[in-house]
Amino acid sequence: MTISLDKLKEIKEQFSKLDELKDEKRVILICADEECLSKGSREIEEALLEEIASNGLKDKVEVIEVSKIGHCEVGPEIEIYPEKVTYVNLSLEDVGDIVNKHLIGGEVIGHLLYTGTEEKVSELGSPHPKEVRVVLRNCGVVDPRRIEEYIARDGYMVLGKALTEMTPEQVIE
């Protein structure tokens, strides 16, 4: 399948608008790192989806698997947006409270709250202070199952420009 640069721009525009609507939704990031998976994050995700659906919140809450949130040593863990609340040491018994108390009631659940002061462990953290994440800057922001979300954040635009507007010499420079 061939796609033009104009088509990429059209998809970006279309999904950028949808991304704005997404800001009105609650988003739950759930860690799918090997360590969190071994502690039951997949089962917690399934229970969350079930509880969200049974409470009629399917259109108001989106659950997205991410490769790492940053505190797997106290996982399974989730992060809820827009509040940016991180819950750790989760069990299946906590799912009802997360949905009923936090999502519906607006209450932060103290005993699940991540209170550590250390910074998040970054999957491929910058080894030097002046380095910046480029390739993984959208990690935890873009749903890896939806290419349109990546395109909405300018994914493939540079590649499209390199293939359609630049000479090989310009690409190398």
DSSP letters spanning 104-128: IT----GGGB----SPPPPTT--SS
Alpha-carbon distance values, 50 to 24, 36, 54, 57, 87 (Å): 21, 20, 6, 10, 19
Alpha-carbon distance values, 2 to 5, 11, 149 (Å): 10, 14, 19
One-letter amino acid at 116 equals G
Indicate the pLDDT class of residue 16, thresholds 50, 70 and 90.
low
Rounded to an integer, the average pLDDT of 126-138 is 57
Domains assigned to the chain = 24-112 (3.40.30.10)
Indicate the pLDDT class of residue 61, thresholds 50, 70 and 90.
very high
One-letter amino acid at 144 equals P
